[in-house]
Chain A
Amino acid sequence: MKRFLPLGIVVFLVAVFLGMMLSDRNPNEIDSVLIGRPAPAFSIDSLSADTPPLTEADLKTGEPVLVNFFASWCVPCRAEHDSLMELAGRYRVPLIGIAYKNDPAKAVGFLNELGNPFSKTGLDLDGRVGIDWGVSGVPETFLIDGSGVIRYRHWGPIVGDSLEARLLPELEALR
């Protein structure tokens, strides 16, 4: 039976490869280790000077919240902005924006130009919050449940079918 061994290995490999290719995955994406854990603590200035600082307490509202890391210099952020507007408008999801390594004036300009989907927006000037949250680039969107625990992380822009296929089902599961 030994002579069938190489064939068996190849059949197994092909099956695994096929499974990987048919599954909806991005090989560049690295899973977040924060899933199921409380959101890391932070306290940062708000984008508008007249509102109090943004902290992790703002996430514990008793209902699911989305935290979106964005920047005016980030082209994919521009691409996903319509999805964010739709989430805030049509699906009535509270969104919290964190401007990542972004000049405040430019971040304000970005939101003025495209519309502001965020109920609150914080400033992560030196990217420290991004490090704590394990952000590898912008945009990234985290789904937080009512008690402040991270339930899902969307890597990269919410474009194409990823709003309907990925983010909304996760959101529905929490609601």
Chain B
Amino acid sequence: MAGEIGHFALILALFFALTGAVMPHVGAYRKDTRLMALGDRAVYAQFLMAATAFGTLTYAFVTSDFSVINVATNSHTLKPMLYKISGVWGNHEGSLLFWVLNLTLFGALVSWRGSKLPLQFRGRVLAVQSLLVLGFLMFILFTSNPFERLDPAPIEGNGLNPLLQDPGLAFHPPMLYLGYVGLSVAFSFAVAALIEGEVTPLWARWVRPWALLAWVFLTGGIALGSWWAYYELGWGGWWFWDPVENASFMPWLAAAALLHSAIVVEKRDALKSWTILLAIVAFSLSLLGTFLVRSGVITSVHAFATDPARGIFILAFLALVVGGSLTLYAWRAPKMAPSGLFGFVSRESALVVNNIFLSTFAAVVLVGTLYPLFVEAFGAGQITVGPPFFEYAAAVLMSPLIVALGLGPLLAWKRGNIGRAAQIVIPALVVAAVAGVVLVWQTSGGFVMTAFGLGLAAWLIASVLLEIASRIRLFAAPGKAMTGLKKITRAQWGMSMAHAGLAVILLGITISEAFTSEKLVVMAPGDTADVAGYSFTFEGVAPVAGPNFTAVRGFFTVREGDAILTSLTPEDRVYANPPMNTTEAAIYPLFSGDLYAVVGEAAGAGRWSVRLYFKPMISAIWLGALMMMIGGILSLSDTRLRIGLPTGKKQAQKPSAKAAPKTGPKTVQGARA
């Protein structure tokens, strides 16, 4: 019964989405405010229905109702409760339902938080959002219904892919989806602005918190995914430039660029058409990721079971959404002339530099990801594009970005005051330095790159601290530093935090790449292997039985000198349903780095092949990501971002408050009337 309620709720949601997608536009055309306001009702109704459907599917998973095909294929009574629940979004149909739930959630949030948005504009935004919901609902109902029944119902389900039975992975997909779907809000705002034919600084102020929220979720989702790859896949790495990893990284880059370019729109009323394009591209890249994972066009560890009909449907949807919005863009973009100007050396210019590098990097990742596909499509054979390509691109493109990132926040808005010579010298110097370093790296190996990476990280941290110091006038008036510190807004703390987070990530990558010690040895019980000054003694193996798996557990005692530091117990698991083998690396985090042990195959005569690592500073990668997220949340919590709140004295004195929200909301409507 529950399944039918869910199915029915989805059908109702489809009609609410149809209403929401059409009526606000009709209302805007007829100047009928009641029709425009129908958008709000429609998104709330969609959310209610999607939540009902999602709730019933979760109920089916929790109660192991195997008369629902989706539950029978993806769940099992012996599975721990956490994975029964995470199984809801751990499969194609359920994850699509989760997408829809999030799309409608964001629609409802826009309506709820956006009561100060002009009615017509809000109606258009919600109409675009409803259109996306409509597309996804059609996809679910026509090709991927999660509520389909199975008769007779099996006694037991097939179980969830064991690799997915992991706390990190229980939360990695939902976070990523929240990020992907969060970008839909920026997309809807962009398309609505294109329809209205106008982008104002206020528009940027509205759209930025949504982009920031999506970016925070994407950061979290990607970080969780790489953390999972690090400890679960047992190969010692954390990022492989797999097509699907790239598919999540590209929207992140685009969202990061969007966050920064929206600032320029807000402060200077420039970069408008570029920012609109970024908002469209960021969400399009999210859709592209979905398409790549589900269409079977590429191979990846992440790919879902594929079905050509689904692939064609998503492709059609992708073509419609992306093609439609870009057509609108091509038509309307010329209207968006910038009104503000800024000098060559200014914070705005630094943000432009940021955008150039971030979007170039996103484009390079896109080309690298799709290149094998193009080569095959044009009959030139099969190739793969691997980590060396992407690492090279990252080094070349991200280094100047980090240099600029250090300088940017130190520059004044509109017109900075580095001497005229420096204006020309600095960018040239950066390019020359990077080119030189890359050349030396190519000829003399990794050491130079390590030094360069550490130098960049140090530069970034130093400049973040310097920026705070100059803000509170630490050197000019040390006595008043504390008062200055209190005056720093949360948004500014957020910026510093996120930038410092990037430096910490860079530090983690550079040091762990350069100084990891690795040993692949065959050990008999009692053998000892030394890795980076730590001695690993192999004590033997023992069989273990889990709730739905059996495992071989290896025991290692790790000593530093003579003192016992810890014992590590990596496992090699065999799951019963479905039959599958997974490795559970044992990791012991120290302040200086991670001890990492993996037990492999039996090598006969009681000996086992094992891999032992010491990975210095590797936790910094995830610590840095966490700092970025905290930075984003700090900035989000800054009351200045909220529309409609009275502006305090502090902000009123700043040029940044130029687009004060008090007079703002009329701009869009007023200019149109």
Chain A residues in the interface with B (C-beta under 8 A) = 3-4, 6-7, 10-11, 13-14, 16-21, 25, 27-28, 30-31
Cα(A6)–Cα(B281), bound, Å: 9
Residues of B within 8 Å of A19, CB to CB, are 377
Q: Secondary structure at chain B's binding surface: helix, strand, loop or mixed?
A: helix
B377 contacts A16, C-beta separation under 8 Å: yes
Q: How far is the CB of B277 from chain A (nearest CB, A)?
A: 6
Do the beta carbons of B381 and A7 come within 8 Å of each other? no
What is the number of residues of chain B that contact chain A, defined by CB distance less than 8 Å?
32
**Interface membership of B295, Cβ < 8 A:** yes
Known contacts A3-B334, A27-B299; A14 and B312 CB within 8 A of each other: no
Contact of A7 among B296, B308, B315, B330 (CB under 8 A): B330
- Verify B323–A17 contact, CB threshold 8 A: no
In the assembled complex, the Cα of A27 lies from the Cα of B296 at a distance in Å of 7
A10 engages B373 (CB within 8 Å): no
With A6-B281, A16-B377 in contact, is A28–B326 under 8 Å at CB? no
Determine if B323 and A20 form an interchain contact, defined as CB atoms under 8 angstroms apart: no
What's the nearest-Cβ distance from chain A to residue B336, in Å?
10
Q: Decide: B295 and A17 in contact? CB cutoff 8 A.
A: yes
Within 8 Å of chain A (Cβ to Cβ): is B586?
A: no
The answer to whether residues A7 and B297 also contact, given A14-B315, A16-B374, A18-B315 and a CB cut-off of 8 A, is no
Q: Is B373 a contact partner of A20 (Cβ separation < 8 A)? A: yes
Q: Which residues on B are within 8 Å of A, measured CB to CB? A: 273, 277, 280-281, 284, 291, 295-299, 308, 311-312, 315, 318-319, 322-323, 326-327, 329-330, 333-334, 370, 373-374, 376-377, 381-382
B376 interface neighbour in A4, A14, A20, A28, Cβ under 8 Å? A20
Contacting pair A14 B299 (CB below 8 A): no
Least CB distance, A52 to chain B, in whole angstroms: 34
CB–CB B297/A10 < 8 A: no
Set of chain A residues within 8 Å of B318, measured between Cβ atoms: 14
Least CB distance from B320 to A in Å reads 10
- Please state if B297 and A27 are interface contacts (CB–CB under 8 Å): yes
With A17-B315, A18-B315, A28-B299 known to touch, is A7 a contact of B327 (CB < 8 Å)?
yes
A75 and B376 CA atoms in complex are apart in Å by: 30
Q: How far is the CA of A19 from the CA of B374 in the complex (A)?
A: 10
Contacts of B382 in A (CB 8 A): 30-31
For the complex of A and B, 10 pairs with smallest distance between CB atoms:
A7-B326, A27-B299, A3-B333, A3-B330, A14-B319, A4-B330, A6-B326, A16-B377, A21-B311, A10-B322
When distances are taken between beta carbons in the complex, the residues of chain A under 8 Å from B312 are 18, 21
Taking CB atoms, residues of chain B closer than 8 Å to A6 are 277, 280-281, 326, 329-330
Given contacts A6-B277, A20-B297, A21-B308, contact A13 B329 (CB under 8 A): no
**CA A18 to CA B315, docked complex, whole Å:** 8
Question: Closest A-chain residue to B318, C-beta based?
Answer: A14
- Whether the pair B370, A13 counts as a contact (CB closer than 8 A) is yes
Measured between beta carbons, the chain B residues less than 8 angstroms from A20 are: 297, 373, 376-377
